[in-house]
Structure 1
Amino acid sequence: MANLLILGAGYGGIAAAKALEKAGQPFTLINKHEYHYFTTLLHEPAGGRNKFEEYSVPLRDVLRQPTSEIVKARVTELKPQGNTIVTDRGELAYDYLVIALGNAPEYFGIPGMQEHALVLRSLDTARQLHEHIEKTFAAWQEDHDDTRLCIVVGGAGLTGIELCGELADWMPELAAQYALPLEKIQLINLEAAPTILPMLEEDLRAEALRVLESKGVQLRTGTAIVKVNRNQVELKTRETIDAQTIIWTGGVRANPLIEQAGFEVDPKGRAKVNEFCQSVDFANVFVIGDSAWFTGADGKPLPPTGQAAEQMGDAVAQNITAQLQSYPMRPFRYNNLGTLASLGAEVGVGSVKGVRTKGVSAALMKEGSKAKYLWHLGGLRMISQKRGQFKRKG
């Protein structure tokens, strides 16, 4: 029986594992946590919408077959030439490998960004961000230092914009909780590109801009950060902004282990794959999600999105099963279902299967997409377990 390893339990890894389990194929899933968390929703608990535990599920609640082995370990090295991987719990051999190691922040060489900025890329970092803001705001009563009440978010892609929407909803609650002057709280979004949410149509971007500005968010496009100091950002315009909360959402790159292992990679460190999501360097290695350099039908690399990772995970599971049964593999075809951006708990903007939506209807569609994902993970059982999820507290 083939020895199959899956590295990572994000959207791609968990999709591959679910599909392999359905096909009756044994595997070992290596993940640094014993749970799967909802990466694309981390802005919600970070901004106080709900409790953090609502945004993860134990892996054993998703993968329930006894032939599915789960190992809690951190991958520290890939050795594709010898068909092994190294973890903090030892070395493991494989016949087939699925790399779904997710991403790392892309700092673009901006001095001080990595040292001084918070990021939003895991449950742990979301919790750190949330607790930092609470602690910083609470301390304002001690010294009335207004830089404590200034939050700078770098990046106006999906993560940055959704985080701003959530934080904007949270600010009045914090002001009331800590007796803060609401008018002194500043939430500033800085984007080097000329527009926010570049994946959406112009009218939807304009609506997102209008909604966020109505909530008090200061959106500044065409404004590049060139340096980050402790509690200060320096801009290309030669301005400086003093803030005790600086958050970076400006980009991601692949896990550095991939490039270190000798895979052919693109400028973002993603391993080049063929039409089957198979490494061009090692035929028994499949790479998916943010780890993969897959060129779509338009000639461009697929974006690092949850839906792309899920679809790749399903496709790779089918192709590995086909190989094991001596059937031909099928090329992966990405089906872009669209993008929904929440602008807080009650409103959003987006386009789904070509249908544009905004306001409350977009927010409802976002909620529907969450329920659909829970169904995919565990059917009615999972939805029932999480039935109180995603409702703003209070």
Structure 2
Amino acid sequence: MCMTSIVIAGAGYGGVMAGRKFEKAMQPFTLINKHSYHQFITWLHEAAGGRHRIDDYKVELSEVFRQSIVTQIKDEVTFIDRQQRKVIGKKGEYPYDYAMIALGSAPEFFGIKGLAEYSLQLRSIETARQIRTHIEQQFTAYREDQDETHLRIVVGGAGLTGIEFVGELMDWLPDLCDRLGIPNNRFEVQNIEAAPAILPALSENLQTKAKKILEEKGVRIRTNTKITKVEADAVYLESGEVVHAKTIVWTGGVRANPVLKNSGFTCDGRGRAKVNAYLQSIDDERVFVIGDCASFESAGRPLPPTAQLATQMGDVAATNLLALSKGEQMVHFQPKILGTLASLGRDVGVGFIAGMQTSGTPAGIAKELSKVKYLWQLGGLRMVTRNRRSLVREY
């Protein structure tokens, strides 16, 4: 058995897939993560939007990996010391022969004044809990003072996260109103996007369908609308309009975890470390970088930060790390966009799979099946059985 010292920094989609690969190869590794659990980040719109219990959207890492293979450390990574070959955390230092950096992303605020301070961001289990609790508190407060701004929600950004979140809200908020004795026609959800269209990863036809479905649900979608400033209860638009709302959620973009740039890696404009065809940092062949942290160019442009690509990177990078440690030939990473699906609430969606467009209920079903696929990748039948009833909608 190879006794190479391997450290994975981060237990997101890429990190856990790399760990699964090492586990199958019976290669011991150290996994450093801020939390003791893996979060289903791409499903957090459901958690924040009231679909299931918040804690259903995570799984303990001890349930994912055999403890004889992994050394699990709960720590927050702050620096990668490539000279000393150490991953530095707030609680300790962790030497490595080879490192896998999978630290995920941070919000991108594009220099908009007040946005970081006054908006909520859907980034984690805890922020999903914060958003859900905040909305419930605001709707409850409306019963006391009848201030309409308690019932107005502004969601900035119309990519996958923003669109899926507003779709989820439109299914949950009528139930919340009924529970609190608030008329269903009083709340308002605005989705504000600077670009000319929503869901840029999809075709114009699917964008149009998604917009129609959401508007029929009651969402006010405002494209070509730039946010210039945010205050505690107000969103300022380039047109001069001010939207007053007690709930402001930002989903408008991400950049790589700042640890990479702070550690001296060669990065692109979004702070992602540049990697070669094998997913090694161009600065150090012993460091592999994956997921939202990696700047990998395909067709002349960096790949988008998606869970689908992060899982593929984790698998290939782990394969290459093992090959490098044994002096064997590595393989080029060849990204495969298998499809993109956006839920527009609990039952409907839009997207494409293997080049085929889908919308409505079939897309909603496909979105639910994609959960099953990921759970299978994560832990086979055991993980599917554990999570199916709590996370996967029955049809």
Do the two structures share a fold, i.e. TM-score over 0.5? Answer: yes
Is the CA contact (8 Å cut-off) linking 1:85 and 1:91 kept in structure 2? yes
Q: How many Å separate the matches in 1 of 2:72 and 2:356?
A: 40
Q: 2:347: which partner in 1?
A: 346
State the Cα distance separating 1:387 from its structure 2 match: 2.6
What is the distance in 1 between the residues matched to 2:326 and 2:78? 32
Structure 1 residue 73 and structure 2 residue 75: aligned? Answer: yes
- 1:287 alignment counterpart: 289
Contact (CA 8 Å) 1:9, 1:29: kept in 2 or not? yes
Mapped to 1, the partners of 2:105 and 2:380 lie a distance apart of 28
Partner of 2:377: 376
Letter paired with 2:17: A
Look up the match of 1:144. Answer: 146
- Answer whether contact 1:62 1:378 (CA < 8 A) is retained: yes
Q: Which whole-Å CA distance do the structure 2 matches of 1:372 and 1:391 have between them?
A: 11
1:256 aligns with 2:232: no
State the Cα distance separating 1:144 from its structure 2 match: 0.6
- Specify which of 42, 45, 62 is matched with residue 43 of structure 1: 45
1:58 alignment partner, one of 33, 57, 60? 60
| Alignment partner of 1:186 is 2:150 | no
| Kept after mapping to 1: 8 A contact 2:372/2:392 | no
Q: Which amino acid aligns with 1:223?
A: T
Output the TM-score relative to the length of structure 2.
0.98
User: Within 5 A, what are the aligned runs for 1:224-243?
Assistant: 224-243=226-245
TM-score by length of 1: 0.98
Aligned to 1:203: 205
How far did 1:391 drift? 5.2
**Which one-letter code corresponds to 1:201 in the other structure?**
S
* Distance in 2 between residues matched to 1:282 and 1:176, nearest whole Å: 57
Q: After superposition, where does 1:117-136 map in structure 2 within 5 Å?
A: 117-136=119-138
Shift of 1:229: 0.7
- SS of equivalent residue, structure 1 residue 304: coil
Equivalent AA in structure 2 for residue 322 of structure 1:
A
Range with bigger deviation, 16-25 or 217-226: 16-25
Amino acid of the residue matched to residue 37 of structure 1?
Answer: Q
Q: Is the 8 A contact 2:14 2:102 kept in 1?
A: yes
What SS is found at the alignment partner of 1:182? coil
CA distance in 1, matches of 2:182, 2:392: 25
Q: Give the match for residue 33 of structure 2.
A: 31
Q: Judge conservation of contact 2:258–2:271 (CA < 8 Å) in 1.
A: yes
Query: Which stretch shows the higher mean deviation, 375-384 or 98-107?
Result: 375-384
How much has 1:317 moved relative to structure 2? 0.5
Which 10-residue stretch deviates more, 82-91 or 24-33? 82-91
User: Residue 181 of structure 1: CA displacement?
Assistant: 2.4
Q: Is the 8 A contact 1:50 1:392 kept in 2?
A: no
CA contact (8 A) 2:371 2:392 kept: no
Moved over 3 A (4+): none
| 1:177-222 CA distance string (max 9 Å, x none) | 1111222211000000000001101111111001100110000000
Q: 1:151 to 1:19 in 2, by over 3 A?
A: same
Counterpart CA distance in 2 for 1:21 and 1:379 is 13
> Which residue is equivalent to 1:98?
100
Is contact 1:10–1:37 with CA below 8 Å preserved after alignment?
yes
How far is the alpha carbon of 1:15 from its aligned partner? 0.5
1:116 alignment partner in structure 2: 118
Distance in 1 separating the partners of 2:360 and 2:391:
17
- Asked if structure 2 preserves the Cα contact closer than 8 Å seen for 1:21 and 1:65, the reply is no
> Where do 5+ consecutive residues of structure 1 fail to align?
none
Q: Which moved more, 1:276-285 or 1:378-387?
A: 378-387
Count, aligned residues: 392
Once the two structures are TM-superposed, the CA of residue 390 in structure 1 deviates from its matched residue by 2.4
Tell me the distance in 1 between the aligned counterparts of 2:201 and 2:339.
Answer: 9
Measure the CA separation in 2 of the matches of 1:262 and 1:391: 42
Amino acid at match of 2:324: Q
Contact residue 155 and residue 190 of structure 1 kept, 8 A: yes
Q: Match of 1:339, SS?
A: strand
Deviations along 1:136-187, one digit per CA (max 9) or x if unpaired, are 1111011111100000000000000000000111110111111112222110
**Which blocks of at least 5 consecutive residues in structure 2 are unaligned?**
none
Match in the other structure for 1:386: 387
CA contact (8 A) 2:16 2:314 kept: yes
Distance in 2 (CA, whole Å) between partners of 1:8 and 1:162 is 25
Match of 1:197, SS? coil
Match of 1:88 among 87, 90, 93: 90
| Partners of 1:278 and 1:287 within 8 A in 2 | yes
Pairwise CA distance, 1:86: 1.3
d(CA) in 1 for partners of 2:213 and 2:319? 43
Aligned pairs for 1:165-180 within 5 A: 165-180=167-182
Shift of 1:94: 0.8
Aligned counterpart in structure 1 of residue 109 of structure 2, from 104, 107, 125: 107
What is the aligned-residue RMSD (CA, Å)?
1.1
1:67 deviation in Å?
Answer: 2.2
Q: Which residue of 2 aligns with 1:317?
A: 318
Q: Which is further off, 54-63 or 96-105? A: 54-63
- Whether 2:331 is the aligned partner of 1:330: answer yes
Residue 18 of structure 1 corresponds to 20
Counterpart of 1:112, as a letter, is: G
Q: What letter corresponds to residue 286 of structure 1 in structure 2? A: F
